[in-house]
Amino acid sequence: MNTPIRIAINGYGNLGRGVELALAKAPDLALAGIFTRRDPRGLKPETAGAKVFAASELDARRDDIDVLILCGGSKDDLPEQGPALAARFNTVDSFDTHARIPEYFAAVNRAARDGGHSALISCGWDPGLFSLNRVYGEALLPDGDTYTFWGRGVSQGHSEAVHRIPGVAAAVQYTVPSEAAVTAARSGTRPQLTTRDRHTRECFVVLKAGAEPEAVRRAIVTMPHYFDEYDTTVHYISMAEFERDHQAMPHGGFVIRTGATSDTHKQLVEYRIQLDSNPEFTGSVLVAYARAVHRLHAGGHTGALTVLDVPPGLLSPKSADELRRTML
Amino acid sequence: MNTPIRIAINGYGNLGRGVELALAKAPDLALAGIFTRRDPRGLKPETAGAKVFAASELDARRDDIDVLILCGGSKDDLPEQGPALAARFNTVDSFDTHARIPEYFAAVNRAARDGGHSALISCGWDPGLFSLNRVYGEALLPDGDTYTFWGRGVSQGHSEAVHRIPGVAAAVQYTVPSEAAVTAARSGTRPQLTTRDRHTRECFVVLKAGAEPEAVRRAIVTMPHYFDEYDTTVHYISMAEFERDHQAMPHGGFVIRTGATSDTHKQLVEYRIQLDSNPEFTGSVLVAYARAVHRLHAGGHTGALTVLDVPPGLLSPKSADELRRTML
């Protein structure tokens, strides 16, 4: 076994924890440390012996870190941290604000080039693995259509939006792909599916004392951007039920591509994931790509990149020879 | 639009025809010619204006060809043609004798390096897209199991093996994944599945006059390597039924990866294809990878490579910028 690749974690929420657990499954990678803006003494890592440091110590520990995985949020943390840290480290992040990816890529690319580092942005499953499958599907079947479905799974953004409504004590929102839409997408009949056709939304809400259920329901289902374009069901539950039944973070989804290769022949390609834990799976994706980033950088790469730029074999701890012999 | 990439086809059976049809769907690629060992005047291409040449003219037309797609068979054609042509052209082939891939890779690699060309071997869906998904799955979920299922679809090798039995006038063999095995694989319980558990085999056979059905059946189901390890059903049909119902070449399959990311959480990743026409889909895969080979070679690459070495974005006619903006 060669010297392990040293991976550090920046930010220790659900995703940071998922990355930590994924590192424990990879014998060729070592956890170089968890960096947090909170008091390091307050953190309880999942793995025995994990070292926790203040985020302010990152620069002092640069020589111990081959790749830094950024586990902050896309809204407030990454727009600032991504470029700043790519100037000083090889990085992997899960920036997922689709509309802002080009400007984020440009900022990270400049910083990584200037600093001589490699920075993989927007990694995870969507953007990430689903992006890969959208690109593969369209390239293989150019005369066709792509359908992406998400769920059944928890959307944190939607859960938080419901939680912010006056009278709501706690809330979780599940995004649910419509079975009829999935079946239609697979059929190869190339249906046009509206936003409302594709997914429904299901909310489990704990009310504060005195809150008016019908008013809260109306505030949810009419909320612009989040709910108004969807059919939404609201269930009221007790805090005990919320705590018992809705703490897991399952998720999943499909990328379906159908296309015609001739007048008479249709083809279907489908990629599907079904996750008990969204953050643990996303953490596993980030870790596999951290291995690839280390190798690309060792081979001379600098600048920003995405999953679309990474040769698949580099994700595996196995050598190219071994992959050809055993996996091709 | 830039100048189209000029793709030529070597060998015009079912696969060559599939490649030709796929090229017709790709506006950035142009068919530079179909090369055949048969009399070129006897070929009827699918697309209007397709030029057909004798295989002996290949060298004379080198300057008109950016990438040559080899559509010969893995048993007799490619072991010789692959290295010979990689010395003189950028190539893509579908060499699919899994056990011999390492030696084939080495031979093609030497020839391509010496000739200053790029040669992608073992492309298609298995080996090919299924290999990709085996590698992605294992890299993302290292603590898990991978299951590959093929079918329901025609196996040409098995059909030919049945056809060679004395008394058989015509035959087609369908490989059928066992539903119970697919369900078990998806369950995340990590079942150990034997060869017999995973697939059954179904043969549709036309007997010659005077042939003894039970003797033929026994010859099929006990045939070593091909059938003896499987549960095989034999149906006898008329030549009219054979010609009416069994001329299509459907196929499909699954690559399923299940794994644990922690003591409590299981994850599932599944890749599935369902094909009306196996050769047309395989042709589409070869064509997308021909685009990537042209780009890699233009960027300085020489030698042999596999799908595991190709950055996914290079398969798409879209630029990296456009992919990030629209597909990520």
Kindly determine whether residue A142 and residue B26, on different chains, have CB atoms separated by under 8 Å: yes
HEC states along A170-189? EEEEEEEECHHHHHHHHCCC
What single letter denotes the amino acid at residue A110? R
Residue B2 scores a pLDDT above 80: no
Structure letter (DSSP) for residue A91: E
Q: Which of B157, B194, B185 has the alpha carbon at shortest distance from B172?
A: B157
- Flag if A308 and B325 touch (Cβ within 8 Å): no
> Taking CB atoms and an 8 Å limit, are B310 and A315 in contact across chains?
no
pLDDT at B81: 97
> Could you tell me the two tokens for B318?
């879209």
How far is residue B6 from each of residues A246, B30, B177, B305, measured CA to CA in Å?
A: 56, 5, 39, 20
Asked whether residue B117 carries a pLDDT value surpassing 80, the answer given is yes
Chain Cα centroid distance, residue A119: 16
Residue B209, pLDDT score = 96
Q: For residue B283, give the nearest of A144, A140, A288 by alpha carbon.
A: A140
Give yes or no for residue A1 having a pLDDT over 80. no
Å between A116 CA and nearest CA of chain B: 21
Structure-token pair, residue B130: 């299924």
Whether B60 shows a pLDDT value over 70: the answer reads yes
Distance between CA atoms of residues B297 and B293, nearest Å: 6
The structure's pTM equals 0.95
Query: Quick one: average pLDDT of B73-100?
Result: 95
Owner of token pair 């071994």: A322
Contact list in B for residue A269 (CB cut-off 8 A) is: 129, 271-273
Confidence grade of residue A223 (pLDDT, cut at 50, 70, 90): very high
Contacts of A265 in chain B (CB under 8 A): 275-277, 280
Position B40, amino acid: P
Class of domain B144-260: alpha beta
Q: Do B139 and A262 touch (CB under 8 A)?
A: no
Provide the residue ranges of all domains of chain A, joining segments of one domain with +.
5-126+279-326, 144-260
Domain A5-126+279-326 indexed as CATH 3.40.50.720: yes
Is the minimum CB–CB distance between A268 and chain B shorter than 8 Å? yes
Which of A265, A268, A276 lies at the smallest CB-CB distance from B265?
Answer: A276
- The predicted structure's pLDDT at residue A157: 87
Cβ(B290)–Cβ(B307) below 8 Å: no
For an interface test with A, the pick among B187, B308, B316 (most A C-beta atoms closer than 10 Å) comes out as: B308
Residue A269 near residue B273, CB atoms below 8 Å: yes
Cβ B264–A270 below 8 Å, yes or no?
no
Contact A267 B261 (CB under 8 A): no
Inspect the interface and report whether the beta carbons of B274 and A268 lie closer than 8 Å.
yes
Task: Report chain A's terminal Cα–Cα distance, integer Å.
Answer: 23
Point out the residue among B135, B277, B323 whose CB comes nearest to the CB of A308: B323
Taking CB atoms and an 8 Å limit, are A323 and B280 in contact across chains? Answer: no
- From chain B, pick out residues whose CB is under 8 angstroms from the CB of A315: 135-136, 139-140
Q: For A260-277, how does the pLDDT look when each residue is reduced to its tens digit (9 = 90+)? A: 999 999 999 999 999 999
- pLDDT tens digits, A2-42: 799 999 999 999 999 999 999 999 999 999 999 999 999 99
**pLDDT, tens digit, for every residue of B18-53?**
999 999 999 999 999 999 999 999 999 999 999 999
Backbone angles phi, psi at B254, to 5 degrees: -135, 145
Q: Could you tell me if A268 and A260 are in contact, meaning their C-beta atoms sit under 8 angstroms apart?
A: no
Q: Considering only alpha carbons, which residue of chain B is nearest residue A291?
A: B139
Quick check: helix, strand or coil at residue A96? coil
Q: Is the Cβ–Cβ distance between A310 and A289 less than 8 Å?
A: yes
Quickly state the pLDDT bin for B1 (edges 50, 70, 90): low
Give CA B176 to chain center in angstroms: 18
How far apart (Å, rounded) are the C-alpha atoms in residues B121 and B108? 8
The answer for B190, left when phi > 0, alpha when psi is -120 to 50, beta otherwise, is: left
Question: With a CB-CB cutoff of 8 Å, which residues 147-206 of chain A face chain B?
Answer: none
Tell me whether B241 touches chain A (CB under 8 Å): no
State residue B112's pLDDT score: 98
Q: What is the mean pLDDT of residues B11-21?
A: 97
Average pLDDT for residues A92-97, to the nearest whole number? 95
User: What distance in Å separates the CA atoms of residue A48 and residue A163, rounded to the nearest whole number?
Assistant: 35
Dihedral sign for Cα B118, B122, B127, B128, please: positive
Under an 8 A CB cutoff, do A309 and B311 touch?
Answer: yes
Q: What is the pLDDT of residues B166-208, one digit of tens each?
A: 999 999 999 999 999 999 999 989 999 998 999 999 999 999 9
CB proximity B280 to A under 8 Å: yes
Q: How far apart are CA B6 and CA B44, in angstroms?
A: 20
Q: How far apart are CA A134 and CA A149, in angstroms?
A: 12
CA Rg, chain A, in Å?
22
Q: Report the number of secondary-structure helices (H) and strands (E) in chain B.
A: 11, 14
Contacts of A18 in chain B (CB under 8 A): 261
